[in-house]
Amino acid sequence: MTGVVIPSVLRSLRGLPNSLVVGGTILLLSVFVGIFPSLFAPYDPNAFDYNELLSGPSLQHPMGTDNFGRDVLSRVTHAYKIDMQIAFFATVVPFIFGTTIGALVGYSGGIAEVLFGRVVDAVITFPFLVLVIAIVSVLGPGLVNMYIAVGVVGWVFYARIIAAEIKVQKRLDYADAGRAMGYTHIRIIFFHLLPNSITPALVYWMTDMALCILLGASLGYLGLGAQPPTAEWGVLIADGKNFMVTAWWISVFPGLAIVLTGLGFSLVGDGLAELLRSKR
């Protein structure tokens, strides 16, 4: 069975851009680790071991231990769960909401479009992190509040991309045909125009997930995102920042996990964009 499946999978991969294959592999592995962290973590991520404080990378602790004797590898592994969640939850609502609003705005045009333009102007005028920090300061620190803060701002970017696409699509013949057939506007927008406009938003979604991992880690580092002792990469780096000279491994390994995951998302984004260009 596998003798047939694997070669055929490899054959279908051959036509894809390299960046998509490499990035996709990284992401699939990251998601797998995120779902089953216990398979990869040798220890309990929150277990203190006072006999192993600040010990360097070794066979027992490949990434060393922190100032409470917690195993860094186990903490980095368990953080996959939180950070992959951040990437998904912080972006999925803006993606759906922004796409819907963008489709409606792009299709209707007129006053809605003008108003929307003003909203876009205002949102891009705030440095993203500053606005998110300001919102988090109102709601209080924590992951859920971070999702809300990102959602309040993030939908605008999806809406802008979709609105521009729909504006082009609605003038094409098939949209006219739909109207001539007496279809409702909603049916034309969501069943005909949107499937033809969604790809740039999907590409942006990949970039956005990478950005949100960076953002989540940054807020975690500043103490405004995930709260300790939750294992989250930004929190882990902050935990180790005072030990950088004596015990670099506490901060360095979680950072490498961020870089690797971010790389996965941006490679997939690049690969998707390349694939779409060559299809067109």
Can residue 129 be called a binding residue for another protein (CB under 8 A)?
yes
- Binding segment (CB under 8 A) for another protein, from list 78-86, 105-113, 197-205, 256-264: 256-264
Can residue 159 be called a binding residue for another protein (CB under 8 A)?
no
Q: Site map for another protein, 197-236, x if CB under 8 A?
A: -------------x---x--xx--xxxx---------x--
Beta bridge partners of 71: 65
Can residue 12 be called a binding residue for another protein (CB under 8 A)?
no
198 close to 99: Cβ distance less than 8 angstroms: yes
Chain center to CA of 128: 15
- Separation CA 184–CA 63 (nearest Å): 59
Can residue 115 be called a binding residue for another protein (CB under 8 A)?
no
Least Å distance, CB 245 to another protein, is: 5
Least Å distance, CB 192 to another protein, is: 32
Determine the Cα angle at 85 with ends 83 and 88, to 5°.
115
What DSSP designation does 230 have? Answer: S
Position 21, amino acid = V
- Separation CA 69–CA 50 (nearest Å): 6
Residue 16 or 131: the one with the smaller Cβ distance to another protein is 131
Q: How many CA atoms are closer than 13 Å to the CA of 199, on its beta-carbon side?
A: 12
209 close to 269: Cβ distance less than 8 angstroms: no
Residue 72 or 188: the one with the smaller Cβ distance to another protein is 72
Positions of E strands within the chain: none
Give the residue, chosen from 261, 268, 272, 273, that forms a contact with another protein under the rule CB under 8 A. 261
Residues that bind another protein (CB under 8 A): 118-119, 121-122, 124-131, 133-138, 140, 210, 214, 217-218, 221-224, 234, 237, 241, 244-245, 248, 251-252, 255, 258-263, 265-267
